[in-house]
Structure 1
Amino acid sequence: MPILGLPQSSTPLKPAHFDVEKVFRPNILALHPYRCARDDYKEGILLDANENALGHSIARPSSSSHSNVPDELTPDLIQTLDLDLHRYPDPSHDDIKSRLASLRGLPNPAHVFLGVGSDEVIDLLMRVCVAPEREKILITPPTYGMYSVCAQVNDIGVVKVPLEFSGDAGEGGEKGRFSLRVDEVKKAIDADPSIKLIFLCSPGNPTGTLIPLSSIRAILDYEKFKGIVIVDEAYIDFSEPNASAVSLVKDYANLCVMQTLSKSFGLAAIRLGIAFAQPPIIQILTNTKAPYNISTPTAHLALAALSPASVSSMRTKISTLKSSRTALLQALSAIHDIGASIGGNDANFVMVPILAKQDDTLSKDSLKEVNRTREIDNTRAQKVYKSLAEQNGVVVRFRGNEPGCLGCLRITVGTEEENRTVVQRLKEVLRVL
């Protein structure tokens, strides 16, 4: 069954073992999407969408008086009122997609989908591909929690292949590292042909670990897997150059790469998620999404964020945050009650374990011996997390309940002042807990 809205192509899809039409649920392939009022015409006297022709009702400040202006209408929001807020948004936003395609090295907007955050993309992919109660997704914990949440909401199964952990996270030990177990993923595929989607978070959350493109390619090329590999790259801009799996999209029809404007672009509030894939996947997502999922204010800000000047500013800030990440890790490593960092350092956060409290009455030689073997203390980590937030005004994330993250706190790289503060408050809290 052809995909509605997708032009016919004689070019064979790669890899050869993948049939895109067999991945999507039959009811999705047969779906005739809702036709938006703006799908056909976007200019003229628009009397087709039952919009309010008199415009929005938000009071504006006048030159003579600021009375009756809502307190919420701060000066930075006034220009938003000049947008066509009484009209439904553009359902396609091809101008944004064009800039994203150019930024990530893809040929055209047909390779780009926009969602309300990456979470909408995650949910849509599950709904269009995975049959409730019968089929499954595969995840690699510790990983982003929304994969499991969306799976439960959609009543689909979850197969877990934990990342491999190596190293010693104790004080003075080798940095703990995570890696994708490609052979174990293949074994899971062999054992359960109902797996339709594989979610790989790279760089990982909470691990900060970048998955090598060679490992992703090995799964894409595995003939026994007939589904789609989704690579979640929310933090990719904080990683090394040329690490993005978007470079593989042109060669693999069974790949979907998710990104977002929330992290590197600093636009978490506008909720804009992105999917990069070959046109068949993008067309199905487009057919299935809500009619006007991206608001006009969001689109306005996103387009500005993707201008050359803004992209240059983004890259400058990333460079600053990466330097701050290095400095933060160095400062944390000097605190004796904190172990070596866990995972990779390819995101805008670090993850460190809290160690068991040492006996201050021991001699210096005895303390050195204890420090070499001191264990991670998950209970103490929870207490440190709560004390930081409730008594010290510093909020980090406790991740000690995730596989391989025992006793760990995940700390976002902040401003220089924020980083100095979190280090100082950690020292103070660890003295008393």
Structure 2
Amino acid sequence: MPIQGLAPSTTPITPAHFDIEKVIRPNILALHPYRCARDDYQEGILLDANENALGHSIPRSSNQIQQELSSTLDADLNRYPDPSHDQIKSRIASLRSLPGTDHVFLGVGSDEVIDLLMRICVTPVNEKILITPPTYGMYSVCAQVNDIGIVRCNLNLSGSKGEGGEHGRFSLLVDDIKAAVSADPSIKLIFLCSPGNPSGTLISLAAVKAILDYEPFKGIVVVDEAYIDFSGEGSSAVSLIKDYANLCVMQTLSKSFGLAAIRLGVALAQPPLIQVLTNTKAPYNISTPSAQLALAALSEEAIQNMRLKCQTLVESRKQLQKSLESLSALGVGDAIGGNDANFLMVPILNKDSRVPDNARANGVYTELAENKGVVVRFRGKEAGCEGCLRITIGTSEENAALLEQLRSALSEY
């Protein structure tokens, strides 16, 4: 089996007795790596990766913050980082109303947390995870890397357009999940993305509790809350941690905090699971520069700035949704899902049949990126997302440019 992404070579391999494809594990050779629009397009108005378009919230004028940041270059960069970063954990515990640092784990982005959870909980070959498509692609990638099975229980794909809540489109089908775990006791982790990516729909706490309380399931429920700060008050499953040892909530500084570049993910859970994660991680996984920036971003003033930027993006999301409705005649359908994150997902419709059209949507996506200077994300191959483009909420100027260029692309394609 050829190595994915490697171009065929006419150069003879030496020594002749060596064949790398016979050394690499078969599950890795078969792996299709996670791909994003940024793999193909790195320039223009970037509305593809759900970054915070308003930037980070670290105040530039605060003397205390400036001292913390300037100390990065004054730090002993020849020394390994603090292995525990208790000050960062303390600020996160306070922000999320948890008892203390023993409820907080820090990872290199949420992806390290995902990988560690699989490595510590799921036995390769013999055990499985459960995911709920459409969902974040790294769950499947990490599962294949770790050589573990995947059980898929789709979200509700037939709910009303634009409707969220417990019974709307992309809500959790609790009975289906219960049936799956009852039928297969090898399932050790259930990954729930809330708000979902790419659905943008918040999963109700009642639905999460129903899974946590289901006695036949002996594993851990992982709630991925990368976009939780764009949702309403009381939306987070962190409030359930005190009552459920079988719950792990993942969060990140990449989205609402606008710090995607520093790669800091967070796991929140009761101390036993946090301790096992800590025992398993690499010794110095969070770099000193990343830690300094995270500490600054978790100051009281910076958190206030973050919340204000989230409010601005939520209002911009509502306005952009209304503006996209004005393109209905050109084939833009109503935004689908609960729209609880910093992006919208809209179907592109066939000109004649007025049904979601993957070919046209992919053509519009390519036209925008290659000729219009606007990069969004084509999601039409995901379950329940036929013909859909996922559009990150940008600045007011970026949103205006998106609308102008999308109108042009739809007229031409």
Q: Name the TM tier (shorter chain).
A: 0.7 to 0.9
Aligned partner of 2:390 in structure 1 is 410
2: CA distance, partners of 1:307 / 1:138: 37
Q: Does 1:85 align with 2:65?
A: no
Give yes or no for the alignment of 1:340 onto 2:340: no
**TM superposition shift of 1:178:** 1.3
Letter of the 1:276 counterpart: L
2:348 maps to 1:354: yes
Q: How many residues align?
A: 340
Which one of 133, 142, 147 corresponds to residue 134 of structure 2?
Answer: 142
Percent sequence identity is: 70
- Relative to structure 1, is the Cα distance of residues 174 and 321 closer, same or farther in structure 2, using a 3 angstrom cutoff? closer
Q: Deviations over 1:204-246 (max 9, x none)?
A: 0000010000000000000000000000000000001111000
Q: Determine the structure 1 residue equivalent to 2:157.
A: 165
Listed as ranges, the matches of 1:249-268 within 5 Å are 249-268=241-260
Aligned to 2:284: 292
| CA distance in 2: counterparts of 1:391 and 1:303, whole angstroms | 40
Pairwise CA distance, 1:177: 2.1
Structure 2 residue matching 1:247: 3-state secondary structure: helix
| Deviation per residue, 1:310-339 (Å, 9 max, x gap) | 000000100100000001000001102100
Separation in 2, partners of 1:212, 1:174: 13
Instruction: Point out where structure 1 has 5 or more consecutive residues left out of the alignment.
Output: 1-76, 359-372
Q: 1:404 to 1:93 in 2, by over 3 A?
A: same
Kept after mapping to 2: 8 A contact 1:174/1:340:
no
Distance 2:103 2:145 in 1: 28
Q: CA deviation at 1:375?
A: 1.1
Of 346, 349, 362, the residue aligned with 1:382 is: 362
Contact 2:223 2:237 in 1 (8 A): yes
C-alpha RMSD of matched pairs (Å): 1.4
- Does the Cα contact within 8 Å between 2:157 and 2:383 map onto a contact in 1? no
Name the SS for the 1:179 alignment partner.
Answer: coil
The letter of the residue matching 1:406 is E
Counterpart amino acid of residue 380 in structure 1: R
Q: 1:97 to 1:79 in 2, by over 3 A?
A: closer
Displacement of 1:80 after TM fit? 3.5
Determine the C-alpha separation between the residues in 2 that align with 1:417 and 1:268: 21
* Distance across 2 between alignment mates of 1:156 and 1:174: 34
Aligned residue number for residue 4 of structure 2: none
CA distance in 2, matches of 1:311, 1:218: 32
Q: Write the distance in 1 (CA, Å) between the matches of 2:226 and 2:194.
A: 8
Distance 1:168 1:96 in 2: 42
For residues 168 and 264 of structure 1, what CA distance do their matches in structure 2 show?
28
For 1:100-111, list aligned pairs within 5 A: 100-111=92-103
Deviation at 1:88, TM superposition (A): 0.7
1:4-403 matches, within 5 Å, as 80-167=72-159, 177-336=169-328, 337-358=331-352, 374-403=354-383
- Residue pair 2:72, 2:288 contacting (<8 A) in 1 also: no
Q: SS state of the match for residue 81, structure 2? A: coil
Q: SS in structure 2 opposite 1:229?
A: strand
Q: CA 1:174–1:205 in 2, change beyond 3 Å: closer, same or farther?
A: closer
Q: What is the rounded CA distance, in whole Å, between the counterparts of 1:209 and 1:412 in structure 2?
A: 14
Which SS does the other structure have where 2:190 is aligned? strand
Name the SS for the 2:248 alignment partner: strand
The Cα shift of 1:168 comes to: 5.9
Distance 2:169 2:373 in 1: 30
TM-score if structure 1 supplies the norm length? 0.77
CA distance in 2, matches of 1:315, 1:105: 16
Contact 2:163–2:338 (8 Å) recurs in 1: no
In structure 2, do the counterparts of structure 1 residues 198 and 92 end up closer, same or farther at CA, with 3 Å as the change threshold? same
Q: Provide the C-alpha distance between the structure 2 equivalents of 1:174 and 1:80, rounded to a whole number of angstroms.
A: 46
Partner of 1:72: none
Offset, 1:166:
2.6
Distance across 1 between alignment mates of 2:253 and 2:354: 41
CA 1:174–1:129 in 2, change beyond 3 Å: closer, same or farther?
Answer: closer
Q: Secondary structure at the match of 1:165?
A: coil
Please report how far the alpha carbon of residue 113 of structure 1 lies from its aligned counterpart in structure 2 after TM superposition. 0.1
CA deviation map 1:160-194 (0-9, x unaligned): 0000123465xxx9898211000000000011000
Instruction: For residue 376 of structure 1, give the secondary structure of its aligned residue in structure 2.
Output: coil
Letter in 2 for 1:387: E
Cα contact 1:142–1:163 (8 A) shared by 2? yes
Counterpart Cα distance in 2 of 1:377 and 1:219: 35
Structure 2 residue runs of 5 or longer lacking an equivalent are: 1-68
Residue 216 of structure 1 aligns to which amino acid in structure 2?
A: V
Supply the distance in 1 between the matched residues of 2:158 and 2:128 (Cα, whole angstroms). Answer: 28
- Verify the 8 A CA contact 2:241 2:248 in the aligned structure 1: yes
User: For each residue in 1:57-102, what CA deviation from the matched residue of structure 2 results, as whole angstroms up to 9, or x when unmatched?
Assistant: xxxxxxxxxxxxxxxxxxxx97642122111100000000000000
Contact 1:135-1:194 within 8 A present in 2 as well: yes
